[in-house]
């Protein structure tokens, strides 16, 4: 079946690194995504990784994919108060051409000054 799980809350101090974890169940997933949602705002694509990659780095963001364990993580270096938001992990299962996203419940990141 299709399921994406994330821890619900993470609290870090400003300047520290944040690591948000996600597990998924569909081993045939093609792409995995991280979205950010700020209060009252829409969903903003942060980054994505193709399933044949292990790592992707984009400025302060590092995505690690362990396909064997079906584990995805998002590391935010030098976390700032502006990074406070809900972070969603999402996958596109390989089945079908509709490319609909299956989402986790989101991890609420609180950055303390």
Catalog residues that contact another protein under the rule CB under 8 A.
4, 30-31, 33, 35, 41-45, 48, 50, 88, 90, 96, 98-106
Q: Which pair of tokens denotes residue 54?
A: 């292990």
87-106 b/e (C-beta count within 10 Å ≥ 16 → b) = bbbbbbbeeeeeeebbebeb
Q: Which is nearer to another protein, 8 or 19 (CB)?
A: 8
CB of 45 to another protein, least distance (A): 5
CB of 88 to another protein, least distance (A): 6
Q: How far apart are CA 73 and CA 51, in angstroms?
A: 13
Label residue 30 exposed, middle or buried (CB < 10 Å: 0-12, 13-18, 19+). middle
CB of 16 to another protein, least distance (A): 26
CB of 32 to another protein, least distance (A): 10
Rounded to the nearest angstrom, the gap between the alpha carbon of residue 30 and the centroid of all alpha carbons in its chain is: 15
Q: Which is nearer to another protein, 49 or 111 (CB)?
A: 49
Q: Which is nearer to another protein, 4 or 76 (CB)?
A: 4
């Amino acid at each position: 079946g299709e399921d994406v799980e994330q821890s619900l809350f993470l609290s870090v101090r400003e300047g520290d690194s944040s690591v948000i974890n996600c597990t998924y169940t569909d081993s045939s997933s093609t792409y995995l995504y991280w979205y950010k949602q700020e209060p009252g705002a829409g969903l903003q694509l942060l980054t994505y990784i193709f399933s044949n990659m292990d790592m992707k780095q984009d400025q302060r963001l590092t995505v690690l994919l362990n396909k064997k364990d079906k584990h995805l993580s998002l590391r935010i270096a030098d976390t700032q108060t502006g990074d406070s938001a809900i972070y969603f992990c999402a996958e596109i299962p390989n089945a079908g051409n509709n490319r609909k996203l299956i989402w986790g419940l989101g991890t609420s990141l609180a950055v303390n000054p």
